[in-house]
């Protein structure tokens, strides 16, 4: 059986990635696509790589008939999402890819996003979308909040370790490198090819990146006390892929064991043998996550490296994985394509 799917905000990269993945999904069918400013256009005009597909035209959200829609993906900008979702049918299943429902605590939301949440009751309802850790809740959820792509990468390294108590939660440094598509299709000078190609640099240095709100929330939860990591993202001249190099205190063997145990049955998390080093080139375009652990030359210290594709497992692939659960489908449906290399 095929579920009718709507994608709200289909003219951005995560929207296009949803279409790419659903195009060969065995039990999802795209019934509606929205893009306010591009309403009336063909998706193939906005994203010519999708022009071979037979897709509905882009519409305004108000024009969509949700009566037959089984699930909607919201790939709208932050802040817009909470306003739009508030007005959608109350029984519509929703996977939101924005930042609007990631933080459960209204105060934390206000701290990181600079204004009070406009839909606090929805915020309370939303389940944090890191499938591996919230599988049961997601399966029964109506509203799932897709995670930050950086947060997902770091949390795959850290959440099981903090939970297992094998690392010191006060001594965590996450140095993360991300390709440019995570910043979306926005017209910003620093995203121009001529500005970025051949360059690399940190941004949001000093602990100002909004994804820190998710690190704080999830790690404090499993630690049972407040955890505040250090986190520096870097922009690198690549389109896709995030690699996080995470410096922790603890025994490398115990760390590897804890991660291995946590991910033993996970279909998309690939543990490398000890000393193995992930790379963004090895997960590009796929829903797979590579995780490696190496002991440092200084005793009691280790480095955990995690790589994933920000648009797939970090965003749209994760969203579909969650939607599969919400719709009662096989969790891996439509998501087992191998990475593309070179």
Contacts of 19 (CB under 8 A, 6+ apart): 7, 10, 30, 33, 43, 47, 50, 53, 55
The distance of closest approach from Cβ of residue 215 to a copy of itself in the complex, given in angstroms and rounded to an integer, is: 11
Closer by beta carbon to a copy of itself, 16 or else 32: 16
Mark whether 74 is an active-site residue: no
Nearest to 15 by CA among 41, 62, 59, 47: 47
Least separation in angstroms between residue 34's CB and a copy of itself is 19
Shortest reach from residue 83's CB to a copy of itself, in Å: 25
Q: Which is nearer to a copy of itself, 44 or 142 (CB)?
A: 44
Q: Which is nearer to a copy of itself, 257 or 266 (CB)?
A: 266
**Distance, CA of 92 to CA of 71 (rounded, Å):** 6
Write the CA distances from 169 to 134, 148, 172, 173, 301, integer angstroms: 21, 21, 6, 10, 13
Q: How far is the CB of 132 from a copy of itself (least distance, A)?
A: 15
Closest CB 43 distance from a copy of itself, rounded Å: 11
Choose between 107 and 340: whose C-beta lies nearer to a copy of itself.
Answer: 340
**Please, which contacts does 190-197 make with residues 24 or more away whose CB atoms are closer than 8 Å?**
190/235, 196/235, 196/237, 197/237
Distance of closest approach, residue 57 Cβ to a copy of itself, in angstroms: 16
At residue 318, what are phi and psi to the nearest 5 degrees? -55, -45
Q: Which residue's CB is nearer to a copy of itself, number 45 or number 105?
A: 45
Using DSSP, state whether 301 is helix, strand or coil.
strand
**Is the Cβ–Cβ distance between 13 and 319 less than 8 Å?**
no
Q: Which of 149, 227, 243, 295 is catalytic?
A: 149
Give whichever of 121 and 187 is closer to a copy of itself, judged by the CB atom.
187
CA-CA distance, 94 to 91, in Å (whole number)? 9
Q: Which two tokens stand for residue 329?
A: 């489908």
Q: How far is CA 226 from the centre of its chain?
A: 23
Q: Considering all CA atoms of the chain, what is the largest pairwise distance in Å, rounded to the nearest integer?
A: 61
**Would you please indicate which residues are annotated as catalytic (active-site) residues?**
149
């Amino acid at each position: 059986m095929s579920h009718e799917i709507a994608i709200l905000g289909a003219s951005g990269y995560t929207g296009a990635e949803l279409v790419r993945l659903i195009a060969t999904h065995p039990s999802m069918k795209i019934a509606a696509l929205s893009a306010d400013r591009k309403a009336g256009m063909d998706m193939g005009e906005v994203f010519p790589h999708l022009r071979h597909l037979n897709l509905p035209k882009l519409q305004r959200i108000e024009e969509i008939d949700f009566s037959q829609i089984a699930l909607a993906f919201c790939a709208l900008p932050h802040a817009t999402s909470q306003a739009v979702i508030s007005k959608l049918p109350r029984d519509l299943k929703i996977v939101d890819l924005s930042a609007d429902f990631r933080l459960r605590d209204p105060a934390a939301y206000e701290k990181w996003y600079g204004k009070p949440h406009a839909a606090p009751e929805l915020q309370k309802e939303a389940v944090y979308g890191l499938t591996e850790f919230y599988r049961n809740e997601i399966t029964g959820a109506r509203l799932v909040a897709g995670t930050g792509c950086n947060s997902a990468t770091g949390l795959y390294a850290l959440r099981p370790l903090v939970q297992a108590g094998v690392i010191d939660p006060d001594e965590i440094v996450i140095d993360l490198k991300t390709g440019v598509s995570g910043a979306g299709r926005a017209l910003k000078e620093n995203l121009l090819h001529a500005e970025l190609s051949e360059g690399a640099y940190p941004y949001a240095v000093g602990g100002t990146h909004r994804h820190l709100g998710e690190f704080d929330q999830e790690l404090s939860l499993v630690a049972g006390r407040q955890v505040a990591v250090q986190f520096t993202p870097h922009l690198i001249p690549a389109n896709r892929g995030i690699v996080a190099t995470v410096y922790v205190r603890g025994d490398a063997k115990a760390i590897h064991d804890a991660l291995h145990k946590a991910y033993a049955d996970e279909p998309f998390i690939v543990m490398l043998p000890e000393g193995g080093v992930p790379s963004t080139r090895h997960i590009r375009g796929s829903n797979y996550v590579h995780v490696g652990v190496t002991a440092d030359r200084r005793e009691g210290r280790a480095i955990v490296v995690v790589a994933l594709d920000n648009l797939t497992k970090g965003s749209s692939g994760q969203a579909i994985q969650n939607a599969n659960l919400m719709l009662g489908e096989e969790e891996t449906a439509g998501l087992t394509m191998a990475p593309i290399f070179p």
